[in-house]
Amino acid sequence: MRTKRHLTIDEKRDWLAGIFRDESGGVSQADKFKAMAEDTRLALLESENKKKSTTPKPSPVDLLDFLPPPLPPGE
């Protein structure tokens, strides 16, 4: 079985939350701010993807409604 190469958005956000909530002193305030900014960016990306997936796509049958009427025979 092939191992996955990339993390999901949720896994990335969990990792960033660990950095942001670090209280051991091993992470600087600047790194915590960067983690918060990246988490916000990922949250926006996730919400945009959800909006795109819920937008109804026109079916080919609906597209036929936009075609002009057929020409009469002989033209």
pLDDT at residue 42 in the model: 92
The 3-state secondary structure of the chain, one letter per residue: CCCCCCCCHHHHHHHHHHHHCCCCCCCCHHHHHHHHHHHHHHHHHHHHHHHHHHCCCCCHHHHHCCCCCCCCCCC
Identify whether the C-beta of residue 9 lies closer than 8 Å to the C-beta of residue 46: yes
pLDDT band of residue 75 (cuts 50, 70, 90) is low
pLDDT at residue 55 in the model: 67
The pLDDT tens digits for 4-60 are 788 888 899 999 999 988 889 889 999 999 999 999 999 999 898 888 877 676 677
Q: Is the pTM of this model over 0.85?
A: no
